[in-house]
Amino acid sequence: MRILVVEDEKKVAGFIKRGLEEEGFNVDVAYDGEEGVSMAINSTYDLILMDVMLPKKDGISAVRELREQQLSTPVLCLTAKDGVQDIVNGLDSGSDDYLTKPFAFAELVARIKALIRRGSQDRGAELHFADLRLDPVGHKVWRSNKEIDLTAKEYALLEYFMRNPNQVLTRTMIAEHVWDYTFDSFTNIIDVYVNYLRKKIDRNFDRKLLHTVRGVGYVMKESD
């Protein structure tokens, strides 16, 4: 497995590189956002570790550029910012996960392995629920034959709901399956993203599919 680390602090980059190489990964390092984008586009990686605060091009802009270039390589953002909006901004840029500094190296490795494992899975045939359709191969979604534009994380959340229709999904379940997080403080992010998703798949349609189960979580079903 080959990983690109984009980190401007050379001591931090060196620490991450040595640690990941000890875990059996091949690691390349870029020290600014522009170099990181160039290396990601011109080489093949299984995962990209992207620091948010970078010279020349910040990490959020770099991830957006990679996604605009149709690069689907999983991206794990690293940052010292841990506010809800900071995390939302990072995920909305197209990154797949978000880890705040300082972090335990064991957690970093676990997140990396989870993202690589998820990316390599065969996602199978199209999913259907009511008039909602999801294409796991093309990462496209339609409702009543109208295509709906979703961010990477909104898409992952919707896919989880559609693979578990008519089942109440707790915030903990969603955190573990969509973000690989297990701690309670992350639930605010889940609520934010469920609201984002609800606006896109339900707001302009008479039948509502995504429902809140007070005190428990959420469920995808055809009626209240």
pLDDT digits (tens, 9 = 90+) for 159-188: 889 988 898 998 888 887 776 555 554 568
pLDDT digits (tens, 9 = 90+) for 35-76: 999 999 888 888 999 999 899 999 999 999 998 887 878 899
pLDDT digits (tens, 9 = 90+) for 115-157: 887 765 544 568 899 999 998 767 789 999 899 998 878 888 9
Query: What's the pLDDT at 4?
Result: 95
Q: What is the DSSP string of 23-53?
A: TT-EEEEESSHHHHHHHHHHS--SEEEEESS
Query: What's the pLDDT at 152?
Result: 78
Q: What is the DSSP string of 145-186?
A: TEEE---HHHHHHHHHHHTSTTS-EEHHHHIIIII----GGG
For domain 2-120, the CATH architecture is 3-Layer(aba) Sandwich (3.40)
Tokens 């010292």, located at residue: 80
pLDDT band at 224; cut points 50, 70, 90: low
Domain 127-220 has CATH 1.10.10.10: yes
If you average pLDDT over residues 200-213, what whole number do you get? 92
Beginning with the edge strand found earlier in the chain, give each strand of the sheet holding 140-143 in spatial order.
127-129, 132-135, 140-143, 146-148
pLDDT digits (tens, 9 = 90+) for 6-44: 999 999 999 999 999 998 888 999 999 999 999 998 888
* Cβ–Cβ under 8 Å, residues 129 and 162: yes
Query: How many CB atoms lie under 10 A from the CB of residue 174?
Result: 24
* Cβ–Cβ under 8 Å, residues 127 and 134: yes
Query: What's the pLDDT at 182?
Result: 53
How much is the mean pLDDT over the chain? 85
Quote helix, strand, coil % in the chain, to nearest 5.
45, 20, 35
Domain segments of the chain as ranges: 2-120, 127-220
What is the pTM for the complete model shown?
A: 0.61
* Cβ–Cβ under 8 Å, residues 69 and 41: yes
